[in-house]
Copies of this chain bind each other. A is one copy, B any other.
Amino acid sequence: MSVTLADVAARAGVSAATVSRVLNGNYPVAGATRTRVLRAVEELEYVVNGPASALAAATSDLVGVLVNDVADPFFGIMASAVQSEMSPVPGGGGGAGRADGPGKLAVVCNTGGSPERELTYLTLLQRQRAAAVVLTGGTVEDAAHTGALAARLRRLEAAGTRVVLCGRPPMDAGDAGPHPLTVAFDNRGGARRLTDHLLSLGHRSLGYLAGPAARTTTRHRLEGHRAALSAAGLGGDAERLTVHGAYDRASGYDGARELLWREPSLTAILAANDTVALGVCAALRERGLRIPEDISVTGFDDLPFAVDAMPALTTVRLPLHDAGAKAGRLALGREEGPPGGVTTFRGDLMVRDSTGAPR
């Protein structure tokens, strides 16, 4: 049906082994036969059979990238960065031909934030004998899932698949669990700086719109916020002024209304991320409140649209691209991890127009 190695070999008048060696370039082959083989490949429009090659070599060139939501730029940017490291010899200028084979195929898989789908994809990737897997974004904090995930990752690593966490806190799976290379964000510190900024502006009544409960990212950002509040002696009301919701615009809209209902004298609302902040702004606008004159609003992540929001959002900038790129390099083994295996990127406060002093 399809043209195979043997066909190419016949056409070039050599053995299949030689063709294989030419194609993989990991073995000495005479220049003359080499060009002859390459010509045959061209003429026959031969394309390697990946499965067969993976079976024989016991490895594949697939790298899985798991994201909670491809449609969300937060993940899109990281995924894009991971993938940008997969091309053959990105920086390596010298020499002829490919050095690293034809490059890895980075495949992004959408888990929708569901633990089950995350596990399903990991199984699928393990079945494909993926070369590496990058898990991006926070995860659910649930004993059952954490255990299942740790088990699956252990098996993946045992099967030779490199596992890298990106934008997810380090795993602590006890003694024997896996401790994959990790690229983390300092969500706690970023949130703390954000709240401190508001406090220094004079705000004393702050509402917090948290992400879904039981997610690492949610918890860390909330902890940073609460730490700043406690340090300022404002910890008492924190619980009442926190509302949980999804990481989307609608949650911001609904959450702002709920917060204002609970405490009409709020002078600032901190949103779980930029997208949520947009929803907050919409609700506030609808209510006739001016930002930041009547109430300040903050986001988190500094996605590209944050600067174009109305008004431009004060937020915390996460180096999503850098983190993704580093994760990609770690996944390919192109870069060593630090001693502890964990690299942490800090988030910088970006002060813009959505925050100001309270009236």
Contact = CB atoms under 8 A, between A and B. Distances in A.
A83 B69 CA distance: 11
B108 A124 contact: no
Nearest to A305: B305
Contacts of A52: 51, 55
Contact of A70 (B48, B108, B159): B108
Contacts of A62: 107, 128
Contact of A55 (B49, B102, B126, B275): B49
Nearest to A249: B304
Interface in A53-82: 53-55, 58, 60-62, 69-73, 75-77, 79-80
Nearest to A72: B76
A103 B2 CA distance: 25
A129 B71 contact: no
A282 interface: yes
Given A2-B159, A76-B73, A77-B71, A51 B109 contact: no
Residue from A47, A106, A120 whose CB has the most chain B CB atoms within 10 Å: A47
Contacts of A311: 310
B83 A105 contact: no
Contact of A108 (B1, B49, B84, B108): B108
Interface string A125-164: 1111100000000000000000000000001000100000
Contacts of A84: 110
A281 interface: yes
Given A70-B70, A107-B109, A249 B308 contact: yes
For this complex, into which size category does the number of interface residues on chain A fall?
Answer: 35 or more
A20 interface: no
A156 B48 CA distance: 13
Contacts of A80: 69-71, 110
Contact of A73 (B53, B71, B307): B71
A120 to B, nearest CB: 7
B249 A47 contact: no
A128 B105 contact: yes
Interface in A302-359: 304-305, 307-311
A318 to B, nearest CB: 14
A54 B56 CA distance: 13
B109 A106 contact: yes
Contacts of A159: 2
A3 to B, nearest CB: 10
A308 B73 contact: no
Interface string A1-44: 11000000000000000000000000000000000000000000
Given A51-B128, A83-B109, 17 more contacts: A47-B123, A47-B126, A50-B127, A50-B128, A62-B128, A69-B76, A70-B79, A71-B76, A71-B77, A71-B80, A72-B73, A73-B73, A84-B110, A102-B120, A103-B120, A105-B121, A105-B128
30 contacts: A2-B159, A45-B155, A50-B54, A50-B124, A51-B51, A51-B128, A62-B107, A62-B128, A69-B80, A70-B70, A70-B76, A70-B79, A70-B83, A70-B108, A71-B73, A71-B76, A72-B73, A72-B76, A83-B109, A105-B107, A105-B109, A105-B128, A107-B109, A249-B304, A275-B304, A282-B307, A305-B305, A305-B308, A309-B309, A309-B310
Q: 3 closest A-B pairs (Cβ-Cβ)?
A: A107-B107, A310-B310, A51-B54
